[in-house]
């Protein structure tokens, strides 16, 4: 993603003080190809020599989420992972439980299902969270076979070294 993307994210944030640290958070996040935690983003910024407080990273990510400019999922440990949302769209992702890679999926079916369930129950303004996880093709050969012949990652923690760096 580009500097233009970071500028679009900055314009979406509520009016307030746009410090160089917040701009730096937006630039680094805009370069992330996959979901990233606040702590990972902070570590990547620190490794690149960008001085910014972890609180600033968390606050910026929460504001992006609140204004609809970041998609958020949770990893297996419950940690929130963020990815910039470029347009005013709601997306769903399929995430690898092993390496953390993600890819967007066609969400029309999910959206229609959520609308139908809400309407059938007499609800309006229904919001939803859907998290799809699996083991990607790249990680599947490295996974030990489970008893039922399926890959199981519950016993293997996510490999942080496999997560793509966003600070480049």
Residue ranges of the binding site for Fe cation = 111, 128
The H or E element containing residue 95 is strand 92-96
Please enumerate, by residue number, every residue annotated as part of a binding site for Zn(2+). 96, 99, 136, 139
Please enumerate, by residue number, every residue annotated as part of a binding site. 96, 99, 111, 128, 136, 139
**Rounded Cα gap, residues 150 and 163, in angstroms:** 23
What contacts 24+ positions apart, CB below 8 Å, involve 126-132?
Answer: 130/92, 131/73, 131/74, 131/95, 132/92, 132/93, 132/94, 132/95, 132/105
């Amino acid at each position: 993603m580009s500097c233009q993307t970071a500028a679009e994210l900055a314009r979406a944030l509520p009016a307030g003080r746009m410090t160089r640290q917040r701009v730096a958070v937006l630039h680094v996040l805009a370069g992330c190809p996959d979901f990233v935690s606040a702590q990972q983003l902070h570590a990547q910024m620190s490794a690149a020599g960008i001085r910014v407080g972890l609180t600033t990273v968390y606050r910026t990510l929460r504001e992006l989420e609140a204004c609809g400019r970041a998609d958020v999922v949770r990893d297996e440990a419950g940690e929130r992972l963020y990815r910039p949302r470029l347009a005013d769209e709601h997306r769903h992702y399929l995430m690898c439980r092993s390496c953390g890679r993600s890819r967007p999926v066609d969400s029309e079916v999910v959206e229609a299902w959520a609308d139908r369930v809400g309407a059938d129950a007499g609800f309006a303004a229904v919001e939803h969270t859907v998290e799809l996880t699996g083991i990607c093709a790249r990680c599947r050969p490295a996974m030990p076979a489970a008893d039922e012949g399926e890959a199981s990652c519950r016993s293997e923690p996510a490999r942080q070294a496999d997560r793509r760096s966003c600070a480049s």
